[in-house]
Amino acid sequence: MLIVDDSEYCRLTLRAMLEAWGIECIAASDGEEGFDKALKYEPDLVITDLQMPICDGFGLIKKLTAIDDRRAPPVIVLSSNLSHFEGDKIELLKRARFSLLKPVDMACLLDCIQQAVPDLPAPGEIRPRA
């Protein structure tokens, strides 16, 4: 799983929570780095913020959805603002599998992850690491 967020706190917190549930993660601090890592590591899922420097989440979604469909991972957007977008940005946001507001409810996020990546163990089968 690839986490893309310019906030180091958000990246580290989300990564720690997901890894505690047995989900392996890599992270990137902007959309450009995230796209490079998506091509290199081919993650099962990308979780991205929208507002970031260099390449924002919209740019990342555009790049990810432009690659071969067999290699394009599903995207979950986590953002503190999902309501003030127009035109192309709305269309790009629709390409994301899910869009959730920060701070995210972890149970809701895990449910979205399960739906986006059905090969993961069922929610009752995911056990926190000791």
DSSP 86: -
Q: Give the end-to-end CA distance of the chain in Å, rounded to a whole number.
A: 21
User: What's the distance, CA 48 to chain centroid?
Assistant: 4
95 vs 25: CA distance, rounded Å: 22
Res 128 pLDDT > 80:
no
pTM given for the model: 0.87
pLDDT at residue 122, as a whole number: 56
Res 129 pLDDT > 60:
no
120 pLDDT tier (thresholds 50, 70, 90): confident
- Please choose, from the candidates 48, 42, 64, the residue with its C-alpha nearest in 3D space to the C-alpha of residue 3: 48
| Kind plus residue range of the DSSP H or E element containing 36 | helix 31-41
112 vs 107: CA distance, rounded Å: 9
- Do you know the residue count of the chain? 130
User: What's the distance, CA 39 to chain centroid?
Assistant: 15
Q: Using one digit for the tens of pLDDT, what is the confidence trace for 5-60?
A: 999 999 999 999 898 888 899 999 999 999 999 999 999 999 999 999 999 999 99
Kindly state the percentage of the chain with pLDDT values over 70. Answer: 89
